[in-house]
Amino acid sequence: MVEVRRREHETIGAMLRRFTRRVQQSGVLMQVRKKRFYKSAPTRRAIRAGALRRTEVTRERIKLQKLGKLNEEERRK
């Protein structure tokens, strides 16, 4: 934990600059950002469900394309 004490005759702005510099040098922000945006690995069940979903969408798209019901805009997606 970073701690900064106010020096004698030091302005609040100077103390705040010293504090932010100390926080950046300590690497606390990097650790917090890593924890904040951490995404756990998907389970085997979730991976399989996603794969099945993709294959179903692909099959449906091919079917619609063969029937001529797929618009040009939908083909590009």
Instruction: DSSP for 29-45, please give it.
Output: HHHHHHHHT--PPPPHH
| Domains in the chain: boundaries | 12-76
pLDDT per residue over 22-42, tens digit each? 999 999 888 888 888 888 999
Instruction: Report d(CA 10, CA 8) in Å as an integer.
Output: 5
Residue 76: band (very low, low, confident or very high) from pLDDT cuts 50, 70, 90:
low
pTM above 0.75, yes or no: no
Confidence band of 2 (pLDDT split at 50, 70, 90) = confident
- Quote the pLDDT of residue 71: 75
Position 68 scores a pLDDT of 87
